[in-house]
Structure formats: structure tokens, C-alpha cells
Amino acid sequence: MTYLIVALDVDTRESAMFMVRKIEACPCFKVGLQLFTRCGPDIVDVIRAAGKQVFLDLKFHDIPNTVAQAARAAADLGVDFITLHAAGGRKMIAAAREAVERTKTRLLAVTVLTSLDDAAVRSEIGLNESAEDAAARYASMAVEAGAHGIVCSPKEISRIRQAVGEDALIVVPGVRPIWAAQDDQARTLTPREAAVAGADYVVVGRPILRHKDPALAARQVVEDLMG
Ligand code: C5P
């Protein structure tokens, strides 16, 4: 089964909650840096109070103790997923895992940002490999260190699945229904293609948020996921 997560990339609590109430077909909403920085942790409470799961996408990346404390704080908020950068290393990921043990919060590791191309990975980040090779290597290290899953580009799903095995979760943004514009996403798959490739969750923002009928758009994505 592949589930839909709607990315609430909006500025206010009112617009976020308007979407949460309207989009009944979606069980889980992503709160990212924009909405969290605008509204604070209260936004998590109100989404949960509406009966929905929360994916808190703040991409933690710091020393192990700091990330562990932040992960614990997120688990105390009752969120279902948090993200952290695999580049923070094994100790950071293991500390975060320990902090969320015995809670329902699951850790998703971000590998190489899809905004970085091969040239930037080599010359700016200083890795002697392609972005895809680095992503696969980070993914397998992160899951070994304790991450429950990986966030990756839809085109990388099969490579990442090989690297992390069957039990790890794979969550993919960059998904576009055939009826939607590509926006700034360069390498997209449709929800169905991502499901067939083995994604556990797809994250969709603008095609749903900017649709004239967001509830209908979300239902269409869910139908496409189910095939
Ligand atoms: O509007 P759209 O469907 O492109 O939104 C995708 C969501 O996934 C956004 O919240 C974006 O920040 C996030 N994301 C992404 N590409 C990545 C990682 C995260 O688009 N590589």
C-alpha cells in the first residue's frame, strides 16, 4: 500500500486548517520549515486534534545530543514522522533513534538534497561520487544507524530500496499526477508509477493545494495510488 501525504506549504494556521478539513482523503499532513516557523508547535496540535497524522519535516542536522533532544521534543508533540539529514552521521542518527524509542515517532533520513546536481556534489560538498551513488550510500548507512526510512526522489526508489532492504520506509516528493503542472520539480513520476516502484508514501503539495477543488485532487491522487 502507498499512502498520500499532503505538504502544507502555506503561511497561516487558517489556510493550513482549511486544507486539513477539506482534504478528507489524506491521513497525514506534512508541516515544513515555512509553516512551523510561522505558527510554531501549536500547528501540530491542531492538525492532530483534527484526527490526522503529522509529518514534521524540519530536517534536523546538528551534534548528536542536540538532535536527540529535538527528536524527543518532536516525539512529545506526538508527530508520526520527523526528518533528519543523513550527512549528520551515524552517531547523530543513533542518538535520535534512541530518543524516539518507545514512541510512535519514526525517523526519516534525507540523503542528498535533490537541488544539488552531480557537479555540486563533487565541487561544493566535496564527495568523489555522483549524487545518486552518494544518496544510496547515505541511505544504507542511515538505516543501519537507526533511521526507520528514507526520503528520496522518485527516480531513485529502486536504487534506494536495494540499499535499505524491504523493511525501511521510502517516502517520495516530486510526484506529479498527469493532470498537474511540473512546477519546479524536474524529475517526477506519477503517483501510480511511484507506487509501482515501491514507495510507501508520496508527498504532494502544489498539485493539490493549488487545485480549484483540493479534496477532489487528493481523491484522484489516492485513486491513482491504488491503481
Ligand atoms: O508542491 P510539491 O508537490 O512540489 O511539494 C513537494 C514537497 O516536498 C515540498 O514540501 C518540498 O519542500 C518537499 N521536497 C521536495 N523535494 C525534495 C525534498 C522535499 O519537493 N527533494
Give the start-to-end residue ranges of the domains of the chain: 3-226
**Is residue 151 within 8 Å of residue 174, measured between CB atoms?**
no
How far, in Å, is the centroid of ligand 1 from the Cα of 89? 23
DSSP secondary structure letters along 41-104:
THHHHHHHHTT-EEEEEEEE-S-HHHHHHHHHHHHHHT-SEEEEEGGG-HHHHHHHHHHHTTSS
How far, in Å, is the centroid of ligand 1 from the Cα of 30? 10
Q: Which of the four pLDDT bands, split at 50, 70 and 90, describes residue 63?
A: very high
pLDDT in tens, 4-58: 999 999 999 999 999 999 999 999 999 999 999 999 999 999 999 999 999 999 9
- pLDDT score, position 110: 97
Q: Is the pLDDT of residue 227 over 90?
A: no
d(CA 210, CA 131): 31
- Region 88-105: mean pLDDT is 98
Closest-CA residue to 82 (of 46, 118, 54, 116): 54
How far, in Å, is the centroid of ligand 1 from the Cα of 146? 24
Q: Is the pLDDT of residue 201 over 90?
A: yes
Q: Which of the four pLDDT bands, split at 50, 70 and 90, describes residue 164?
A: very high
Q: Please give the angle made by the CA atoms of 99, 35 and 116, to the nearest 5 degrees.
A: 80
Q: Which of the four pLDDT bands, split at 50, 70 and 90, describes residue 186?
A: confident
- pLDDT score, position 223: 97
Contacts of 162 (CB under 8 A, 6+ apart): 136
In angstroms, how far is CA 24 from the centroid of its own chain?
Answer: 20
pLDDT in tens, 78-94: 999 999 999 999 999 99
d(CA 14, CA 145): 38
Share of the chain above pLDDT 90, in %: 94
Helix (H, G, I), strand (E, B) or coil at 28: strand
In angstroms, what CA-CA distances link 158 with 56, 152, 194, 205, 208? 25, 10, 10, 23, 26
Active site residue 59: yes
Q: Is the pLDDT of residue 74 over 90?
A: yes
How far, in Å, is the centroid of ligand 1 from the Cα of 82? 15
**pTM (2 d.p.):** 0.96
CATH of domain 3-226: 3.20.20.70
pLDDT in tens, 128-151: 999 999 999 999 999 999 999 999
Helix (H) and strand (E) counts for the chain? 11, 8
Closest-CA residue to 20 (of 42, 40, 49): 49
- Which residue owns the Cα nearest ligand 1 atom 19? 173
Q: Residues with Cβ within 6 A of ligand 1?
A: 7, 9, 32, 114, 153, 173-174, 183, 185, 203-206
Q: Which of 52, 59, 155, 212 is catalytic?
A: 59
Q: Which of the four pLDDT bands, split at 50, 70 and 90, describes residue 114?
A: confident
Atom of ligand 1 nearest to the CA of 206: 1
- Region 47-71: mean pLDDT is 98
Out of 150, 172, 203, give the residue to mutate to test ligand 1, the one with the largest number of ligand atoms within 8 Å of its CB: 203
Q: Which of the four pLDDT bands, split at 50, 70 and 90, describes residue 185?
A: confident
